[in-house]
Amino acid sequence: MTKEGRTVQSDERLFEIMAILRENNGIRITEIAEKVDLANSSVHSHLVTLEQAGYARKTQDGYHLGLKFLEYGTEAQRQQELYAFGKGVIDELAAETDEKTWGIVEENRQAVYVYGSQGDRSIKTYTSIGHRTHLHHLAAGKAILSQLPAGRVEEIVESEGLPQYTQYTITDQAELKSELEEVRERGVAFNLEESVEGLHAISAPIQGENRILGAISVSGPAHRLSKERLQTDLKQKVLGAANELEINIRAHPDKGPLFESDQR
């Protein structure tokens, strides 16, 4: 039993198998069976079901994810207002700063990367579209948390914790609360080596009608994104991009409720 209610064990196993397919570019039934502690015949039945529906494909080196996931992933991305109305803004921000830019939303108490763009000097990171992580160690995560009700922030912290990513990560709830108050006052959030040592980032929240849609961020090496630069020209660029994105959203009153953060 989860906090939200009863789950279906067979569905949980199916999702475990899909996760294994995602992590392994070609894997055999026996290997999957060992990982999920199921009989080979049971794993085979799950894989046949996935294969017939287009969610798995079999080759000489084992099973892979099927391209049916591409259809769902693309549609899930398209339905995000932050992507639908912010893609061009995020691209322009990357070109203007020469750094990596992201659009990030909160879903199920985690940060989810929905779109990213590369500037000419972007550094390569492990992060990709769809990546999920904790909110508290990201500039975008703190920007989002700063706009959520206090009770919702407490719920997220209680559920997800405040794990330490680097020696600079905030791991104390009182310190996080103080940090979020500062974010609200200055309008932007900073990540000063809290996710990866040597990496800085700045982010601004994106507001919808009475709800937080997500945040946009710029990240890069600490020597280029110095504290002084974060607080001056980058702050103005990020706030300007956030304002433009919010205007884009307000200019489309018939857009419908494409995304609403869970603020229970």
Give residue-wise pLDDT tens across range 176-228: 999 999 999 999 999 999 999 999 999 999 998 888 999 999 999 999 999 99
pLDDT band, residue 149 (cuts 50/70/90): very high
pLDDT band with cut points at 50, 70 and 90 for residue 123: confident
Q: Note the pLDDT of residue 159.
A: 95
Please report the pLDDT score of residue 259 as a whole number. Answer: 40
Nearby residues of 166 by Cβ (< 8 Å), 6 or more positions away: 137, 193, 194, 195, 196, 197
- pLDDT value at residue 7: 63
> Is the pLDDT reported for residue 256 higher than 50?
no
pLDDT at res. 4: 54
pLDDT at residue 208, as a whole number: 84
Asked if the domains at 9-66 and 74-250 fall in one CATH topology, the answer is no
Q: What percent of the chain has pLDDT over 70?
A: 93
Interatomic CA distance for residues 145 and 168, integer angstroms:
18
Task: Give 10 or 147, the one with higher predicted confidence.
Answer: 147
What is the model's pLDDT at position 57? Answer: 92
| Range with the largest mean pLDDT of 8-22, 24-38, 87-101 | 87-101
Superfamily of domain 74-250 in CATH is GAF domain (3.30.450.40)
In angstroms, rounded to a whole number, what is the distance separating the alpha carbons of residues 95 and 117?
9
Residue 89 and residue 255: Cα distance in Å, rounded? Answer: 18
Answer yes or no: is pLDDT of 157 > 70: yes
Look up residue 209 and give its amino acid.
E
Kind of pairing between the strands at 62-65 and 56-59? antiparallel
Q: How confident is the model at residue 6 (pLDDT cuts 50, 70, 90)?
A: low
- Supply the CATH classification number for the domain 9-66: 1.10.10.10
Q: What is the mean pLDDT of the chain?
A: 90
Residue 255 has pLDDT above 60, yes or no: no
Q: What is the pLDDT of residue 263?
A: 39
pLDDT at 21 > cutoff 50: yes
What is the mean pLDDT of the segment spanning 231-252? 92
Domain ranges of the chain: 9-66, 74-250
* pLDDT attached to residue 168: 97
Assign 261 a pLDDT band (cuts: 50, 70, 90). very low
**CA dihedral angle for residue 188, residue 193, residue 195, residue 201, rounded to 10 degrees:** 30
Look up the pTM and report it: 0.83
Please state, in angstroms and rounded to a whole number, the distance separating the CA atoms of residues 213 and 209: 9
| pLDDT above 90 for 152 | yes
